[in-house]
Amino acid sequence: MSNTDSYNSEQNLTQAGGDRSLSLFEKIWEKHIVKTIDGGPSVFYIDKHFIHEVTSPQAFKGLEKRGLKVFRPNQVVATADHNVPTLNQHLPIVEELSRIQVQTLTENCKKFGIELYGLGHPYQGIVHIIGPELGVTQPGMTIVCGDSHTSTHGAFGTIAFGIGTSEVEMVLATQCLMQSKPKLMRINVEGQLNKGVVSKDIILYIISKISASGATGYAVEYAGSAIRSLSMEARMTICNMSIEMGARCGMIAPDETTFKYMKGRKFAPQGEAWDKAMAYWKTLHSDEGAMFDKELYIKAEDIEPMITYGTNPGMGIGITGHVPELNEISTEDKPSFVKSLHYMGIEPGTTMKGKKVDYVFIGSCTNARIEDLKMVAGFVKGKKKAKDVEVWIVPGSKQVEKQAVEEGINKIFEEAGFLLRQPGCSACLGMNEDKIPAGKYCISTSNRNFEGRQGPNARTFLASPLTAAAAAITGEVCDVRELLAN
Amino acid sequence: MGVFSTIEEEKKKQLNTAKFQSERKVILSAAVPIELENIDTDQIIPARFLKATTREGFGKNLFRDWRYENNDENKPVKDFALNNTIYSGRLLVAGKNFGCGSSREHAAWAIKDYGFDAVVSSFFADIFKNNALNNFLLPVQVSDAFLGKIFEAINKNPGTELEINLEEQYIKITSTGEQENFDINKYKKTCLLNGYDDIDYLLSMKNEIEEFEKQPTH
């Protein structure tokens, strides 16, 4: 780990152009500054704005109150995901408040001329899954959404971050936000991943090392050979959880893997426009000599399959490790640590292996893409779930669901005793009826193990799809490597 | 529940004058302490209460699952700070990394709606901080040491008043006279002191934004 303190962001801002070495972040940032206020934030231009039913209604109300239109409706894409049922989506939503919220989104999109991929639409799904899937997300863009996991889109070399509802209103009204330039951090992961270790383990490992607030105030670029070797979907999992260490955004420079993924997607540029875009996209990487306020180095081979034991995503350990002892925790951190373990019903100093699980949730914007489902299917094929475990597979989008059916993955799940539901955010945040009952343990591929996140008094272990699938079969937290064929 | 709802109604009335108008440049108030770190926005307002389509009324579910046993409004958790009658006031004081997690602005709305005008902590999560500022809820970031002193003073005397002066950017523990300066972006300070919001400013930039869109490099 090394710090670089000589970097001066103010100076860089005023020196745009010329021969200086720029980071990926700076290249995109500078192209989107409309104006910088003296000693203050900048007016920052947003290329794409995703909206959903939960954090947009008050923003539209605000617009109406001010008598405003949506400034650039063609740059806004809407879907219903946070609050939708994941069974019987063809029927009207039973819960009244949820139904009203989804209807309000539909009405607002109609009134303000915004494209909506609502329930029943073949493109509907979790907002951070459909953006990349449709090719709406493209390298070099600035992207926002009223959802903290907007950092997902950074996997394409974009500046993408979550915003509050007042900011949703600002972007609807002006396509701009007031933004201060964050500090820059680069996290380099070098080397080869161990067997049974996937991208979710990389990000859980990083957060466990730098804590749930370790990147607050920073834009994080992930680099290094281990990152380069990942598929686009795996990269999205990493960028997705950048917010769990407080980062403003997470990003990865686009490369051949990115371009191959983009090519031919619904809204990706085509023909001449593609060539032009490619020429630009290829410039999107941190120059040699680019300066970072902080740079971390991680060896891929140090990473084991990860599991969390506490109530924030920084409270994670390798599967063969143990929960910290009380004397390993600083005095000021102790009250939170004790409260957290009490909530989880876990003793300090114990191992996580062998902890019984009641539910397995495979889904969310972190891990509900087709590769995640394939990874799970590949592992469970021919196996049966443990008797007392309930397993929910919630695909990230209608397209993921469709592909799962076309490729027969749904059959593998059925035979294993898993329930394939319909797309939505589901038990990641327990906003709809997909809640984990009080006191029960759920091993989850989602992104947050906060108290009550998956339902009041529900207890969450965060893990990779592979580790979650292994728990579904054995009924307890286990080391997936012991179950993998050599 | 009866007592609590009356308190909440009272607090809501105060809220109608929520912006930091001239008489609000200084907040002098006792504080409610929650001595925990990493308080995330799911604790501040759980997702199941995000189904409203308006900004009002979130205060009654502020810290819902810490405040009530088994989600039952008739069973307040007695020693939780919001229910503990020895604490009162318009200031919330909490451990570091306050407001981490979800971007839900409902968290700032809930704190404001409950009747708080400022949150004091040694570290705020980015998105929460922006949301708070956009709702004229002042995030006051102090050093770990000073935060410790505030908790200590409140533990000694729960009625301890804190003075927050936005104009001069300091926070003072009135009982001991100890004070510390806090940072706030100059632009945001002007907004808070004058009741401006970012949309007002951005709308005034419309022509420049349209010009920017025409640039070939964009």
CA distance A224 to A299: 10
Shared domain check, A155 and A41: yes
Residue A164 at interface with chain B, using a CB cutoff of 8 Å: yes
Number of domain units in chain A = 3
Residue A213: closest CA among B42, B148, B183, B124: B124
C-alpha atoms less than 13 angstroms from C-alpha of A439 in its C-beta half-sphere: 1
Domain boundary among A273, A302, A331: A302
Rounded to 10 deg, the angle between the A370-380 and A232-240 helix axes is 110
Task: Say yes or no: A279 contacts chain B, CB-CB below 8 A.
Answer: no
- Mean pLDDT score of chain B, rounded to an integer? 89
Kindly report, residue by residue over B169-215, the tens digit of the pLDDT: 999 999 999 999 999 999 999 999 988 889 999 999 999 999 999 98
Q: How many CB atoms lie within 10 A of CB B9?
A: 9
Give yes or no for A170 touching B (CB within 8 A): yes
pLDDT digits (tens, 9 = 90+) for B132-171: 999 999 999 999 999 999 999 999 999 999 999 999 999 9
Asked whether A244 and A205 are in contact (CB, 8 A), the reply is: no
Tell me the residue length of chain B: 218
Strand partners, B40: B100
Chain centroid to CA B102: 16
Distance of CA B152 to the CA centre of its chain: 21
Q: What are phi and psi of B95, to 5 degrees?
A: -70, 175
Residue B181 C-alpha, separation from nearest chain A C-alpha, in angstroms: 19
Work out the pLDDT band at B93, boundaries 50, 70, 90: very high
Q: Each residue of B97-122: pLDDT tens digit?
A: 999 999 999 999 999 999 999 999 99
Q: Which of A108, A450, A451, A453 to mutate to test the interface with B (most CBs of B within 10 A)?
A: A450
Residues A339 and A291 in one domain: no
In a domain, A91, yes or no: yes
Residue-range definition of the domain harbouring residue A334 = 307-484
Chain B within 8 Å of A484 (Cβ-Cβ)?
Answer: no
Answer whether residue A192 is part of any domain: yes
Co-location of A261 and A363 in the same domain? no
Residue A140 lies inside a defined structural domain of this protein: yes
Pair A463, A472: CB distance under 8 Å: no
Same domain, A312 and A428: yes
- Domain assignment present for A22: no
Verify that A212 and A294 share a domain, yes or no: yes
**How far does chain A reach from its first CA to its final CA, in angstroms?**
34
Q: Do A45 and B203 touch (CB under 8 A)?
A: no
> A24 lies in a domain?
no
- Tell me if A43 and B208 make a contact (CB, 8 A cut-off): yes
CATH number for the domain spanning A149: value is 3.30.499.10
Which residues of chain B neighbour A39 with C-beta distances below 8 Å?
186-187
Task: Answer whether A332 sits within 8 Å of B37, measured CB to CB.
Answer: yes
CA distance A424 to A403: 16
- Let me know if residue A26 belongs to a domain: no
- Bridge partners of A3? A294
- Is B53 in contact with A99 (CB distance < 8 Å)? no
Q: What is the pLDDT of residue B3?
A: 34
Sign of CA dihedral A267, A268, A274, A278: positive
B181, B187 contact by CB (below 8 A): no
List of E strands, A302-432: 306-308, 316-318, 359-362, 390-393, 419-420
Locate B170 and state its tokens. 């300091």
Pair A332, A288 in one domain:
no
Q: Are residues A451 and A392 in the same domain?
A: yes
Provide the pLDDT for residue A18: 56
Instruction: Point out the residue among B37, B70, B105 whose CB comes nearest to the CB of A333.
Output: B37
C-beta atoms of A248 and B126 within 8 A: yes
Mean pLDDT, contiguous 10-residue spans, chain A (486 residues): 34 50 98 90 97 98 97 98 96 96 98 97 98 98 98 98 98 97 98 98 98 97 98 98 98 98 98 97 97 98 98 98 96 94 98 98 98 98 97 98 98 97 97 97 98 97 98 98 86
For residues A313 and A298, membership in a common domain is answered with: no
Q: Which of A255, A287, A302 is the last residue of a domain?
A: A302
| A169 with B199: Cβ contact below 8 A | yes
Contact (CB, 8 A) for B113 and B9: no
Q: What share of chain A is helix, strand, coil (3-state, %, to 5)?
A: 35, 20, 45
pLDDT at B25: 84
CA–CA gap between residue A236 and residue A230 (Å, rounded): 10
Q: For residue A14, give the nearest of A33, A219, A285 by alpha carbon.
A: A33
Q: Which element (helix H / strand E) includes A360?
A: strand A359-362
* Same domain flag for A296 and A341: no
User: Could you identify the residue written with the tokens 């009244």?
Assistant: A96
- Same domain membership, residue A102 and residue A249: no
Query: Could you give the CA distance from residue B175 to residue B73 in angstroms, rounded to a whole number?
Result: 35
Spatial CB neighbours of B114, under 8 Å, sequence gap ≥ 6: B8, B11, B59, B60, B62, B82
Alpha-carbon gap, residue A26 to A182, rounded angstroms? 10
How far is Cα A130 from Cα A371, in angstroms, rounded to an integer?
Answer: 14
Rounded Cα–Cα distance for residues A465 and A204 (Å): 13
Judgement on whether residues A330 and A475 belong to the same structural domain of the protein: yes
Count of Cβ atoms closer than 10 Å to residue A439 Cβ: 11
Residue ending a domain, among A260, A286, A302, is A302
Q: Which chain A positions have a beta carbon within 8 Å of B50's beta carbon? A: 54, 82-83, 431
Of A378, A393, A385, the closest CA to residue A476 belongs to A385
SS3 A356: strand
Question: Domain check: are A380 and A461 in the same one?
Answer: yes
Q: Do A217 and B126 touch (CB under 8 A)?
A: yes
Q: Are A215 and A209 in contact (CB under 8 A)?
A: no
How high is the pLDDT of residue A1? 34
Does the model's ipTM exceed the 0.90 cut?
A: yes
| List of chain B residues whose C-beta atoms are within 8 Å of the C-beta of residue A243 | 101, 127
Local structure of B46: helix, strand or coil: coil
Phi then psi for residue A23, to 5 deg, are -85, 165
Residues counted in chain A: 486
pLDDT at B217: 63
Q: Which residue is closest to A247 within chain B, CA to CA?
A: B126
Given B100, B197, B212, which is nearest A246 (Cβ)?
B100
Instruction: Measure CA of the first residue to CA of the last residue in chain B; give whole Å.
Output: 56
Contact B198 A165 (CB under 8 A): no
Tell me whether strands A176-179 and A249-251 are parallel, antiparallel or unpaired.
unpaired
